[in-house]
Structure 1
């Protein structure tokens, strides 16, 4: 396995975002030095990883050169924004090339808050087309590759952000999650990926006005403290009074938790390998004093069809309204087979949509019942280990793509329907050293609980970094499928 990272002896070093803030405040580095180092790292790895959707290097240079910048805790720390939110002066292409790029006239609600934290975007990162696939493998734009092994996917849809953070290009980057798209790339790339509660952060209108708000914005990071610091700072910019505050979470919690562990999804059981990793994580939790209880799948079988139909409806709205939303250059013939297949599915079943949405809204009752007995639920983030490039080929037959996609991401969509928070942590590795994510979920508004548990697990089982020596492959082992 050939890892591909950008870590080196420059201003960024091996620091996480909080570490860079400390370096900046101590005067050991400047914001300009950090931005130049991140630009150099982007140029070094992007020809292989293909995570860059739009370059804004000169804009980043100008921002850190200004005598008075945005302020905010992260002021001067380089970052990226995923290419499905509006940023003034940058196009929003949604992981496709089905229309001509047009610069946005203003920041969307999310970008306005993100920039207020002081993070400096170097541009925008690649995603799968409209975020529908769990692997960004566009037939013309090319695949986004995993820095741990470029033969494998970086996950999706927040693939470009995750690949760049894992490779050391930047310490933190924007991601969002409508079916697992913060958690899945985190699992594939050895990162911390927290999907927050519905309404935790401000959102652009297209996500905010969905019939069911399944998308949540967040970040990909390499450390729990970076994720915790990001939500602390965003809460200073925007506070949702309907949710309990997260606050400044900076250490493990003292409370011992009731934790349910589940390796069954509505689609399938996790693979034997993923079950083993999950049960080892459960054993670690017991060693730490938590009370762990195995449970079966709590989600009714109908959830799969309901969620798929809702996703298909989103594709239907995007495709049918393409020229109105994206301009007269929109060409549906340039869309991939997954997007068009979802649009076709919705077209024949729109009459079922109101009932499907009603049942998805009611899925909140599932996690409310679980929360009466358990504080946290542990599941594998994915049903299988990271897939090789080509397994979710968007030029294949739609039915092949969707069957493989649903099979792989069987565990993540529930929290998108319920609005609950969930975090993926890189607590395991395959025999070849590829990261494996474990997912922890809690009831609405309980991100602080997840972060406290994440701190504890990070201390108890520090995750391997991409720049660490690779483990020796055990005799008789084989690569992950």
Structure 2
């Protein structure tokens, strides 16, 4: 197998070739290692690695031998240093054991070869942490790969690995998927394990773990492997009626699809992005779905303020944990300016202020729940604009916690709602801008609707295929 053949396959395809004896896992690891090294010179997406050999994995797993990357945040592997995007951890903290999700990735047979970059503690829709330097978008290296899973998104888009771990506290799976031309599924709250270090209520319940992939079938098959409950999990939710992999290609039926292209923040949406969503809506109508313009309604400013409080509290808690583990004191010398501003704000929040934030989240979640009683799906842009220029989200800007939160979500207004509600949403790379940049379209549904979303995503993948598109920086070109 050569690099062209390797990068033309998704993870499911590579796993089938390994199982058939047409390629060995060692050959795949060598190709992936070479590919990671080659593209990383241009996109700077690797936090650590490639490792001398893949981390141990189950030889009989569904994806046995398929190259993989984990994000340097939350999910971690025994003995592999993690820095979480912060200088506070210097050369990294070495965990003594796997997280539950890492156990699932190993059990699935994924051959982990590296860790990918993240912004500091994941609080940005860009990936330019000082500890790593700027990660760049392979479609245009003057632009951002999104965040916070920008390193994973860039490596998958560049063909180095077929899929990679990602997590999402406000859009951090879906935003990198959108601007890198990938599939980014954020599952329902409680679907994928966060433990044992944190529970399902981390980040006020907004934090979700999963991956970015090149194909819908990979997202479905990986969800079958990752969605396992562990003793002590805070949330155990309804399982699917059948494996998610079986939903790919299945008839979604006639769905009631709502379409909305105006940002809930009131900020601008690129006309090409809005036009892409409208084209997808027409495609769905032609496929027999009922399509209408509709949206849940909520007040943006209280939502933004509650989001700022939740993130500030999370960052203050995270920093306190690092201080306790390392003996280092947090401050502007080892934290980026906006992180430090959020930490200081989070330290001063009262119980009553957090209760008010959670009450806001509850009110909004109830409104969205009512909306999905009369609509099966909500179709929106994933991001307000195609990939933005590097530096737009400068984490060292002179902004307070609310100002930084506003800067992020006024530019990325469509994703955070579904972290608040805990409901699933997927970004699909269904269009391109006039400059050739990917445009992601978000499809969201009610709680536990992953099966429906995967059926619809598969229908759209067939109608508006994207598999042949390749960025300027790609393993076949460098």
Q: CA deviation at 1:209?
A: 5.0
Residue in structure 2 matched with residue 47 of structure 1 by the alignment: 41
Q: State the distance in 2 between where 1:37 and 1:238 align.
A: 35
Residue in structure 1 matched with residue 220 of structure 2 by the alignment: 228
Question: Does 2:27 match 1:33?
Answer: yes
Of 153, 161, 177, the residue aligned with 2:168 is 177
Tell me, yes or no, if the aligned pair for 1:113 and 1:237 is still in contact at 8 Å: no
387-396 vs 355-364, greater mean Cα deviation: 355-364
Q: State the distance in 2 between where 1:393 and 1:236 align.
A: 37
Q: Which runs of 5+ in 1 are unaligned?
A: 1-6, 471-481
Residue in structure 2 matched with residue 369 of structure 1 by the alignment: 370
Residue in structure 1 matched with residue 343 of structure 2 by the alignment: 343
147-156 vs 198-207, greater mean Cα deviation: 198-207
**1:420-453 Cα shifts (integer Å, max 9, x gaps):** 0000001111101100100011111010100000
Q: CA deviation at 1:361?
A: 3.1
**1:217-245 Cα shifts (integer Å, max 9, x gaps):** 11111111111111123347879853131
CA 1:254–1:385 in 2, change beyond 3 Å: closer, same or farther?
A: closer
**1:49-89 Cα shifts (integer Å, max 9, x gaps):** 111111152241x748xxxx442111110101111122101
Q: CA deviation at 1:456?
A: 0.4
Q: State the distance in 2 between where 1:352 and 1:177 align.
A: 24
Residue in structure 1 matched with residue 239 of structure 2 by the alignment: 244
Tell me, yes or no, if the aligned pair for 2:304 and 2:406 is still in contact at 8 Å: no
Tell me, yes or no, if the aligned pair for 2:193 and 2:228 is still in contact at 8 Å: no
Of 81, 92, 116, the residue aligned with 1:91 is 81
Report the secondary structure of 2:93's partner residue.
coil
CA 1:467–1:131 in 2, change beyond 3 Å: closer, same or farther?
A: same
Q: State the distance in 1 between where 2:120 and 2:186 align.
A: 20
Q: State the distance in 1 between where 2:429 and 2:122 align.
A: 22
Report the secondary structure of 1:23's partner residue.
helix
Tell me, yes or no, if the aligned pair for 2:191 and 2:237 is still in contact at 8 Å: no
Q: State the distance in 2 between where 1:217 and 1:349 align.
A: 27
Instruction: Return the TM-score normalized by structure 1.
Output: 0.89
CA 1:356–1:161 in 2, change beyond 3 Å: closer, same or farther?
A: same
CA 1:320–1:238 in 2, change beyond 3 Å: closer, same or farther?
A: closer
Residue in structure 1 matched with residue 141 of structure 2 by the alignment: 150
Q: CA deviation at 1:288?
A: 1.2
Question: Does 2:3 match 1:9?
Answer: yes
Q: How does 1:138-287 map to 2 (within 5 A)?
A: 138-204=129-195, 205-210=197-202, 212-235=204-227, 242-245=237-240, 247=243, 248-269=246-267, 270-287=269-286
Residue in structure 2 matched with residue 310 of structure 1 by the alignment: 310
Residue in structure 2 matched with residue 3 of structure 1 by the alignment: none
Report the secondary structure of 1:304's partner residue.
helix
Residue in structure 2 matched with residue 357 of structure 1 by the alignment: 358
**1:141-188 Cα shifts (integer Å, max 9, x gaps):** 211111111111110011111111110000011111111000000001
410-419 vs 231-240, greater mean Cα deviation: 231-240
Q: CA deviation at 1:255?
A: 0.5
Report the secondary structure of 1:146's partner residue.
coil
Q: Which runs of 5+ in 2 are unaligned?
A: 474-478
Q: CA deviation at 1:468?
A: 7.7
Question: Does 2:448 match 1:445?
Answer: yes
Tell me, yes or no, if the aligned pair for 1:98 and 1:335 is still in contact at 8 Å: yes
Report the secondary structure of 2:204's partner residue.
coil
Residue in structure 2 matched with residue 417 of structure 1 by the alignment: 420
**1:118-145 Cα shifts (integer Å, max 9, x gaps):** 1010021111110001001123421111
Q: State the distance in 2 between where 1:99 and 1:178 align.
A: 21
Tell me, yes or no, if the aligned pair for 1:83 and 1:93 is still in contact at 8 Å: yes
Report the secondary structure of 2:443's partner residue.
strand
Report the secondary structure of 2:205's partner residue.
coil
Residue in structure 2 matched with residue 72 of structure 1 by the alignment: 61
Report the secondary structure of 1:142's partner residue.
coil
Instruction: Return the TM-score normalized by structure 2.
Output: 0.90
Tell me, yes or no, if the aligned pair for 2:261 and 2:277 is still in contact at 8 Å: yes
Report the secondary structure of 1:438's partner residue.
strand
Tell me, yes or no, if the aligned pair for 2:47 and 2:132 is still in contact at 8 Å: no
CA 1:316–1:257 in 2, change beyond 3 Å: closer, same or farther?
A: same
Report the secondary structure of 1:266's partner residue.
coil
Tell me, yes or no, if the aligned pair for 2:105 and 2:226 is still in contact at 8 Å: yes
Tell me, yes or no, if the aligned pair for 1:132 and 1:338 is still in contact at 8 Å: no
Residue in structure 1 matched with residue 15 of structure 2 by the alignment: 21
Q: CA deviation at 1:296?
A: 4.1
Q: CA deviation at 1:362?
A: 3.7
CA 1:276–1:456 in 2, change beyond 3 Å: closer, same or farther?
A: same
Tell me, yes or no, if the aligned pair for 2:296 and 2:368 is still in contact at 8 Å: no
**1:309-334 Cα shifts (integer Å, max 9, x gaps):** 1111112222344311x412454321
Question: Does 2:382 match 1:388?
Answer: no
